[in-house]
Amino acid sequence: MKRVGFLLKVREEFIEEYKTHHQNVWKEMKTALLKHGWRNYSLFIRTDGLLFGYFEARESFAKSLEGMETEEINTDWQEFMSPYFEILESSVPDQSMLELEEVFHLD
């Protein structure tokens, strides 16, 4: 298991709508995340849209993302959510996540 932290930026004008969508994540998307080792997954957001994500990966961040790339539901979700993020044009959110280095953990 590897603890993973990452950053993304939600467009400020879409923060409330973004939060609403995450209160209603598609069941198939949740199933795919679990299938590919995303455990104890949480998202945190600042008022300016800076988003911090945390999850515990079965193997690694890269392997968890690779697994999700094989899921059609993930493709649909990424396309649906792309307008909410400050990302490069023609990119999708999960390709824009900036992984953070873990420097401390207290059990």
Domains of the chain: 2-100 (3.30.70.100)
- Six-digit token string for 11: 């467009």
pLDDT for the residue numbered 89: 60
Q: Residue 45 — φ and ψ, nearest 5°?
A: -135, 140
The neighbouring-strand residues paired with 2 are: 57
pTM: 0.88
Block means of pLDDT (10 residues each) for the chain, 107 residues, are 94 97 97 97 97 96 95 95 79 76 93
pLDDT for the residue numbered 97: 82
- 22 is an active site residue: yes
Is the torsion defined by CA of 94, 96, 98, 99 positive or negative?
Answer: positive
Q: Using an 8 Å Cβ cutoff, are 3 and 103 in contact?
A: no
- The one catalytic residue among 21, 22, 36, 105: 22
Is the torsion defined by CA of 14, 12, 52, 91 positive or negative?
Answer: positive
